[in-house]
Amino acid sequence: MAEGHGTGRRGVCERPETSSSSNSAHLRCIVNIAVAPEPALRWVAFRAQTPTRRIHYSEGLYTDRLQPAGAAGPREVWWDVYDTQTAQAAVADMLAQLDTHVWNRLETLLSHDAILSAAMTGDLGFLKRQNGNESYFAHAQALLLMDAGQSDALAAALDALRRTATPHNQATTE
């Protein structure tokens, strides 16, 4: 886990998630990555009516998954581990990718301006605005803007959230 000193923003790289189809002879895994800014953690705590002690991947505004090197395309690929050799290869690949791609991205997103920019441009890792996630992006922008007080950008984010929220979630946008 990486933390921004004094920023209240946290980057999370959880242990690899294992597939429910894994067994003692074959482990399938993937690494979940997330950035959970402090306003998002407050929202999670408010909704749960309890303080957040450990950040879960799903609580991040920016979320992504680290897949085996060379994995491309729309289908998610997981590491397959059968023995010591494939376990060592999977761990080496995970560490190499963390060093070359992930840590720098997480460090950048610990900046309030950087994660706000990512939310406004529609790229929060796995979630992209063009894939029909307007409500999620409006929610992220409102959370990131709320502490600065009233602004045109906050009003626009709240309007977009009201417009795009599902009927079930509309009560929480008021």
Would you say residue 127 has pLDDT above 80?
A: yes
Would you say residue 123 has pLDDT above 80?
A: yes
- Domain containing 100 equals 2-173
- Which pLDDT belongs to residue 172? 52
Whether 115 and 62 have beta carbons less than 8 Å apart is answered as: yes
Residue 79 CB contacts under 8 Å (≥ 6 apart), including other chains: 16, 28, 29, 30, 68, 86, 90, 93, 94
Would you say residue 90 has pLDDT above 90?
A: yes
Q: Look at the chain and report how many structural domains it folds into.
A: 1
The dihedral over CA atoms of 119, 96, 107, 132, expressed in degrees to the nearest 10, equals: 10
Would you say residue 55 has pLDDT above 80?
A: no
- Which pLDDT belongs to residue 6? 39
For 145, the 3-state DSSP assignment is helix
Most confident of 25-39, 79-93, 157-171: 79-93
- Mean pLDDT on 44-52: 71
| Residue 117 structure tokens | 């920019």
Whether 35 and 109 have beta carbons less than 8 Å apart is answered as: yes
User: Over the chain, what is the mean pLDDT?
Assistant: 83
Whether 12 and 35 have beta carbons less than 8 Å apart is answered as: yes
- Mean pLDDT on 94-99: 92
